[in-house]
């Protein structure tokens, strides 16, 4: 079938943003190629383990994950749609990350489900003793097991995590200051785990993900979150 060879841009009408989208992945049930990067079809995802989207999303974990083949720019916005996990466990379960190392030798960012059920973004700059975290609590409109839209902004000095609230048409967010000087990433951004020291065996269900070089205005965050949630 000719359709088997077509490269579909699932994000043709993606909202205008101040940042530049450079990678976009959609895993709805009608997507026949889970590796497709809609913003650059010549740079597909690499699959480790077993990952498929027959249920209209991918389930990723430390053993079954996706490698974007991209390293993080200094200012990175991550946007996506994933399922809210139940609270539990003793370690963060990373959904998107380039975090590597441990202790004072660790560096990089991670977006994760926290053990207490909140959603977080973490960043540790090289030379810092520990990561900085920003935690967002889920609004009442999003129950455990629901899919939700989020954006996270990693930039010089601050990290932000934001969750779209369908009841208000706005987002709930949290920001945290980060000491040190952020540099461009030196490890590939992974979907499903961090680079090493993956102590959590839990998984994440994700429907879509977009990587953007640069920042978004508050209205642009909402537009992107709403767009992704509606296409999912």
Query: Which is more confidently placed, 87 or 167?
Result: 167
**Looking at the predicted structure, is the pLDDT value of residue 155 above 60?**
yes
- Confidence band of 7 (pLDDT split at 50, 70, 90): low
User: Is pLDDT above 70 for 91?
Assistant: yes
- Tracing tokens 């642009």 back to the chain, one arrives at 220
pLDDT surpassing 70 at residue 232 = no
pLDDT for the residue 76:
98
pTM: 0.95
Q: How far apart are CA 120 and CA 175, in angstroms?
A: 10
Distance between CA atoms of 130 and 142, rounded to whole angstroms?
A: 31
Residue 2 scores a pLDDT above 80: no
Structure tokens at 214: 């640069």
pLDDT tens figures, 35-86: 999 999 999 999 999 999 999 999 999 999 999 999 999 999 999 999 999 8
Average pLDDT of the segment spanning 131-155: 97
Secondary structure (3-state) at 5: helix
For 95-137, how does the pLDDT look when each residue is reduced to its tens digit (9 = 90+)?
999 999 988 889 999 999 999 999 999 999 998 989 999 999 9
Which pLDDT score is estimated for 90?
Answer: 78
pLDDT for 196-214, tens place per residue? 999 899 999 999 999 999 9
Inter-residue contact 109 to 92 (CB < 8 Å): no
On the CB side of 80, CA atoms within 13 Å amount to 31
Rg (CA), the chain: 16
């Amino acid at each position: 079938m000719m359709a088997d060879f077509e490269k579909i841009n699932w994000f043709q009408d993606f909202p205008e943003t101040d940042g530049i989208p450079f990678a976009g992945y959609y895993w709805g049930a009608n997507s026949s190629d889970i590796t497709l990067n809609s913003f650059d079809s010549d740079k597909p995802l690499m699959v480790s383990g077993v990952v498929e989207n027959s249920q209209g999303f991918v389930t990723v974990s430390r053993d079954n994950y996706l490698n974007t083949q991209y390293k993080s720019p200094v200012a990175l916005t991550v946007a996506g749609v994933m399922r809210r996990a139940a609270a539990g466990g003793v370690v963060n379960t990373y959904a998107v990350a380039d975090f590597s190392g441990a202790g004072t030798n660790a560096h990089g960012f991670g977006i994760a489900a926290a053990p207490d059920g909140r959603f977080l973004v973490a960043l540790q700059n090289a030379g810092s003793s520990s990561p900085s975290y920003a935690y967002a609590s889920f609004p009442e409109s999003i129950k455990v097991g629901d899919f939700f839209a989020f954006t996270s902004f990693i930039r010089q000095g601050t990290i932000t995590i934001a969750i779209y609230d369908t009841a208000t048409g706005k987002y709930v967010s949290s920001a945290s200051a980060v000491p040190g000087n952020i540099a461009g990433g030196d490890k590939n951004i992974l979907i499903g785990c961090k680079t090493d020291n993956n102590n959590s065996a839990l998984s994440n269900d994700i429907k879509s993900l977009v990587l953007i070089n640069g920042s978004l205005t508050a209205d642009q965050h909402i537009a992107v979150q709403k767009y992704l949630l509606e296409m999912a």
